[in-house]
Amino acid sequence: MRYLVTGGAGFIGSHIAEALLARGDAVVVVDDLSSGREENLAALSGDLELIRGDVCDAEIVARAVRGVEAVFHQAAVPSVAASMADPLRCDEVNVHGTVRVLEAARAAGVGRVILAASAAAYGDDPELPKREDMLPRPMSPYAASKVAAEHYVRVYAELYGMRNVSLRYFNVFGPRQDPASDYAAVIPKFVTTLLGGGRPRIFGDGEQTRDFCTIGDVVSANLAALECEHARGQVLNVAGGRSITINELVRALNRVLGTDREPEHAEARPGDIRHSRASIERARDVLGWSPRVSVEEGLLRTVEHFRKAG
């Protein structure tokens, strides 16, 4: 089979591409390399084609979807901070780019688009755990754009019979996550800071909670969504199903690394949510998926990767 991974040179997209290639599938990657990196694909072996370009470019997307069975749509402006700095670009990529991908897939007879949605949709609703039937409360342009993309994915499923699914990722981490990005996720940034002898910086008091999920579990959720025939138009949480505070995360990393460095604290960032924990019952029921790797094991694997890379 042949599949398209938009944003496939990024952290999550490259891992999806790697898993597909390992199965013997052919993979087309579309990435403008604004946040993805070619080195994420360099070590992958198999039938892989990289098309450098933007998902907002109709010609590129139309070319990329030809002959594919399904699309893993990972391409996006990747963060709250980036969206607040440039809301128009966020809307262009995350909303209009998604519609462009959906329309190109429909026109080419591609029956399935799997969207990388986001737990940011839940905003700061105090109810825990976060369930897919809760009313979205986006607190940033990024979150609003991801909710809009989910609606388009559902509408295309209902109107055109596509077997589309939106997977709401919570806090994904693992090897190949870029710690040097201005918008880097907390775990790779903390790991590289601690490995370099520094003190990790926490925005706020550190008692905010996050639900972390390893990259391997996120990939397995995408593959389950690819095979599932009764998830059409649904939104499904993909998470570990439990949360820890950022202060606890620093302590866990100190244990893994054998260090004992206290974090430094900075002012909380606007748009950041306070608490997050997912209900993953729907993903279990619909996809037959559940996370297999604990946060602790995931941290060990992530630290090992950065030690080797360093």
Q: Which residues are catalytic?
A: 142
Contacts of 196 (CB under 8 A, 6+ apart): none
- 169 to 69, 74, 90, 97, 291: CA distances (angstroms): 23, 11, 18, 19, 12
The C-alpha atoms of residue 45 and residue 39 are separated, in whole angstroms, by 13
Residue whose tokens read 């901070």: 81
Paired residues of 116 in beta bridges: 167
The C-alpha atoms of residue 18 and residue 189 are separated, in whole angstroms, by 24
